[in-house]
Amino acid sequence: MKELLLIRHGEADHNVLFAQNRSLEAKKLRDPRLNSKGIQQAVDLKHRLSNLLRRRFNVELVITSPMTRTLMTSDLVFAGIKCPVLISPIPREQGDFPCDYGTEKSDLETKFPHHNFSELPEVWWTEEESLEQVADRVEEFKRFLNSRPEQKLAVVSHGVFLKTFVRSSDQYRDFRSFKNCECVRATLDEEGNLTVLN
């Protein structure tokens, strides 16, 4: 049984534009960074999780999407926590607009030199992806998580991916969307069944 912390990235400018019904502008922002509110959200989440991480949830591995906003979020939330970070394209956002298209590996290596991108292809995102394809990636991600030796893992990902991940279990078909920098605790059994704990 895997114990999971499922975390959506902090706010970036495209989230603000979508909330203002300015979706055409939002969709054009390529791989946006966290804005100042998103940075503060990640710092606040780090403080909210500090007791849990110190006492009950000794995170063994952080898995993060290679999008700039998720990399920044994981860096801030897990600053000072001694555990490896694995960059994986599996929990990336649904690739259907430039705001969800990634940055080339060589550029990420320059911007985030403290991370290991060796397993990441130069171009690792998709530019046209259906919700059915996202659901297929969710199943791939469950298999990936269950193949890992670690038992306590944190996942820093995106709204559509995380909602699809949680809704993949029948009892959570109506699960709401994740808010920016929201953390949901869950377990994943060997058969790929998810149980939400909070």
SS (H, E, C) 122-164: CCCCCCCCCHHHHHHHHHHHHHHHHHCCCCEEEEEECHHHHHH
Query: What's at 22, amino acid-wise?
Result: R
The pLDDT score that the predictor gives to residue 176 is 81
Cα Rg for the chain, rounded, in angstroms? 16
The pLDDT score that the predictor gives to residue 195 is 93
The pLDDT score that the predictor gives to residue 56 is 80
The pLDDT score that the predictor gives to residue 6 is 98
Q: What is the DSSP letter of 79?
A: T
The pLDDT score that the predictor gives to residue 111 is 97
Over the chain (198 residues), the average pLDDT of each successive run of 10 is 97 94 92 98 96 86 98 96 95 94 97 96 95 96 98 97 91 86 96 91
